[in-house]
Amino acid sequence: MNPMNVFRKTRTCYLFFFLAITTVTYAHGDRDDIFYNIKDYGAKGDGSTSDTKSINAAIAAAASSGGGTVYFPAGHFLSGAIHLESNITLYIDRGAILIAAPADASAEYDKTESAINDKFQDFGHSHFHNSLIWGENLHDISIIGSGMIWGKGLINGYKGDSEKEINMPNKAIALLSCRNVTIRDITIFKGGWFAILATGVDNLTIDNITIDTNRDGMDIDCCKNVHISNCFVNSPGDDGICLKSSFALGYARSTENVTITNCHVSGYDEGTLLDGTFKREDKNRHAPIGRIKFGTESNGGFQNIAISNCVFDYCRGLALETVDGALLEDVTITNITMRDITNSPLFIRLGARMRAPETMQPGVCRRIMISNVNIYNAYVDSTASIISGNPGLYIEDLKLSNVHIYYKGGGTKEMASVKVPGFEKNYPEPYKFGPIPAYGFFIRHVKNLEMNDVSVSFLDDDFRPPFILEDVRGATLRNIKARKMEGVPYFILDKVVDFSIRDSKGISDKQIKNSSHQSF
């Protein structure tokens, strides 16, 4: 897909803002008083001439005057590394496309800097200067406008140790240890390994952007006071909106005080969100990813996070993961709808992979509320929603309310007898567990579980029970509805203490003090 031919989206812009400023400015001077137009610094915008030096010259001029708006007019601007400065806005106007120069154009990009720490997170998380746009230790910066960033020359991963590959650019936007940052209204196509990587960034607003990319959409790592809203993220090859808390800063720092609202994540074929075809024809890759996720890198923690009014379409489900020592706590998720989900629609995992300094201990996962969730066609026939802690290390105080899931079904009687390994030290992904013996919820190593108004059903016959609880201490269930095949129990309980169920269709009220093994 050529974005020059398909970039026709209607976007919110700053028309009234700039008209107001322009009116005042024209009373005192000309348009040059408010914009640093990159064409005035030699940019050609012809799609073939390198405009790197011109763009950076405009930024430097604005910075030397205390800040300002660097303006990209309509045109196709080929560029390598763009160096952000404090008090700078990049305004990419409608019709402007910023194109990443070829990855092997070494003169256009900065070499990969020495990492603060590179032992406990992927290569891409450990380096920032190998990017199209990057900034470090900055404040009060914005990237806005109705134009496009096309990461045409960015690579989407890292496979070896050759100096050439190490220094190849792999991010569209990378920000390290910055504050007061706004990214609004832009489109990113082919963002490389990360379309947006923000690490140690505080007071971050990402609003009304569209990302159609080949790896991660946005990774928010060790950040505080973050608002993500009104975004479309299509990322078939990796996560869409991903919160992380890695060791990239050289110490564990939590991602906290985060809102994600009114967003759409998907895994359509790359480029088909932008061209409006929404294709699902790429059969060469693993099941599309494209989801909202916490983790995998999880050293510092995830605290005080609210997710609301989001849509998942043809992608993996919601994943909350802490496996490297992080606290995952005080999370509220509400008003979520999903359709055509390619793995566990709900996945909550407390593990002990411990990709972390030896002094760190396994994390904690507690006080999570998930409500008003509607899921149709979770269509992998071997899995279920998985909530799994560690032996002796429990997910605590979990509440699910008004959750309704329609699975594809297709589970066999043989699958119903499978014993699920613990995999406490493995990479946390639902498919790693193999076939799941329940079709609805597989819940283990959990303490203080509440489920209210929860229903599960299947589209094709499934011979697994709807619910399996294993090593659960304190479970209160009300108004549970579940479809099942004849002769299959609703529940299997193994090592469950203080279990209560009431007001549930087809299931008599029960109060079970202690059950080593029971089915009903």
What Å distances lie between residue 341 and 155, 268, 379, 434, CA to CA?
28, 12, 6, 17
Indicate if the pLDDT at residue 361 is higher than 50: yes
Model confidence at 374: pLDDT above 70? yes
Q: What's the pLDDT at 19?
A: 35
Rounded average pLDDT over 236-246? 97
Reply yes or no on whether the pLDDT at 380 is more than 90. no
Question: Which pLDDT score, from 0 to 100, does residue 284 have?
Answer: 60
Percent of the chain with pLDDT over 90: 84
Q: Write out the E strands in 262-317.
A: 264-266, 292-298, 302-315
Question: pLDDT at residue 24 above 50?
Answer: no
Per-residue pLDDT of 265-324, as tens digits, reads 999 999 999 999 999 998 766 689 999 999 999 999 999 999 999 999 999 999 999 999
How much is the mean pLDDT over the chain?
92
Measured between alpha carbons, how far is residue 460 from residues 375, 412, 464, 466, 473 in Å?
A: 16, 11, 12, 14, 32
pLDDT in tens, 154-163: 999 876 666 6
Whether residue 188 has pLDDT greater than 90: yes
Main-chain dihedrals φ then ψ at residue 58, nearest 5 degrees: -65, -40
User: What is the number of structural domains in the chain?
Assistant: 1
User: pLDDT value at position 422?
Assistant: 87
Q: What angle do CA 254, 256, 262 make, to 5 degrees?
A: 140
pLDDT at 12 over 70: no
Q: What is the pLDDT of residue 163?
A: 64
pLDDT for 28 beyond 80: no
Average pLDDT on 331-348 reads: 97
Could you give the count of Cα atoms lying within 13 Å of 202 in the half-sphere of its Cβ?
7
Average pLDDT over residues 149-170: 83
| Domain extent at residue 451 | 3-519
- What pLDDT, on a 0 to 100 scale, did the predictor assign at position 286? 65
Q: What pLDDT was estimated at residue 18? A: 43
pLDDT at 96: 98
Cα(207)–Cα(233) distance, rounded to whole angstroms? Answer: 12
Phi and psi at residue 28, to the nearest 5° = -120, -10
DSSP character at residue 41: G
Q: Are 341 and 319 in contact (CB under 8 A)?
A: no
CATH number of the domain enclosing 41: 2.160.20.10
Res. 27 pLDDT band, cuts 50 70 90: very low
518 has pLDDT over 80: yes
- As a whole-number percent, the residues of the chain with pLDDT over 70 amount to 92
> What average pLDDT does the segment 486-507 reach?
97
Res. 5 pLDDT band, cuts 50 70 90: low
pLDDT classification of 14: cutoffs 50, 70, 90: very low
- Please tell me which residue, 106 or 288, carries the higher pLDDT value: 288
Taking residues 352-369, what's their average pLDDT? 94
Judge whether residue 417 has pLDDT over 80. yes
Residue 492: per-residue pLDDT? 97
pLDDT value at residue 381: 81
